[in-house]
Homo-oligomer: A and B are copies of this chain.
Amino acid sequence: MKNTQFLLAARPEGEPKKTDWECVEVDVPAAQDGEVVVKVHYISLDPAMRGWMNEGKSYIEPVQIGAVMRAGAVGEVIESKTPDFSVGDHVYGHCGVQKYYVGSPKAVGFHKVDPNIAPLERYLGVLGMPGMTAYFGLLETGLPKEGETVVVSGAAGAVGGVVGQIAKIKGCRVVGIAGGADKCKYLVDELGFDDAIDYKGEDIHQGLKRTCAKGVDVYFDNVGGDILDAVLTRINMRARIVVCGAISQYNNTTAVKGPSNYLSLLINRARMEGIVVFDNAANYGKAAVEMAGWIAEGKLKAKEHIVEGIETFPETLMMLFKGENFGKLVIKV
């Protein structure tokens, strides 16, 4: 049985290029004691992966040169030498960008998922890390109150769409920022956002003025750069800015653009705070129950953007940075 793996061949400067990857075919070894073999069905593509390719201190170890690229994935156990998992179990974990994961379940954080409750790919989106990121980031750091205005960037992405819907559930006015009229229409018509700003079609300052007459109380930032700076000029007293990501800056070859308007935090006694979803691992279960309830009630919708074929990985990853994905981006292996 042959495995296809994408190895990190070089640390990218700026945008990851094809030559930063090496695609190899190797035999799938048998599981050793304590190990499993998992056939990967869906691989998650996330902006955070760009950071994992860099050297240096971060919230997680960088991927080593020559190692299989780290990625969340869902798959099926096809061989098991541990009592914790049985053949036929479906699991989520950091399987990496490959067709088969062989190794310890613990090393990649496997936990079981149930394909009878939701399609497998959903465990990479609203029922997975992006959903958890949205849930904890918004509720525990954004602290939205009923009647407040919540703005979210990357709103048609995996995290942003969930942030906006949860903010609606909590009684907020919700404005999404996304690139393209179709995405904005989707936010309002399908996800129930109150309004949306197409940053590719409208000046962002003008858009914020148009949609946030009462200012911004919570800003959930997935993009950084000019959009963060623009929102900083519209925040209200004691606003909360959740720093979840900065996809506009991840491929910079020059320094990250710091928010020039950060002194608005002073004027408005506001706060900017970073989040990393893994900190909430102990409470994922509770969150999943609540979100499953919202899904069942039709209050929380999910959308995956599925691209077929692991061989598309280098190009598919770039869709994230070009803003080409529409919903949670996954590769069907």
Residues of A240-264 whose CB lies within 8 A of B: 243-246, 249, 255-264
Select the stretch in A170-178, A267-275, A309-317 that faces chain B. A267-275
Q: Is the CB of B260 within 8 A of A255?
A: yes
- List residues of chain B with CB within 8 A of the CB of A116: none
Majority SS of interface residues in chain A?
loop
Interface centre among A229, A245, A258 (most CB of B within 10 A): A258
From A232, which residue of chain B is reached at the shortest CB distance?
Answer: B258
Q: A58's contact among B57, B267, B271, B275, by CB below 8 Å, is which?
A: B267
Interface centre among A57, A261, A266, A279 (most CB of B within 10 A): A266
Q: Report A218-249 CB contacts with B as 1/0, cut-off 8 Å.
A: 00000010000100000000000001111001
Interface size on A, residues (CB 8 A): 33
From A279, which residue of chain B is reached at the shortest CB distance?
Answer: B269
Q: Is the CB of B263 within 8 A of A249?
A: yes
Jot down 12 A-B pairs with beta carbons below 8 A, ordered by A.
A59-B268, A59-B269, A243-B265, A244-B266, A246-B263, A256-B260, A258-B260, A259-B259, A263-B274, A267-B276, A271-B274, A272-B272
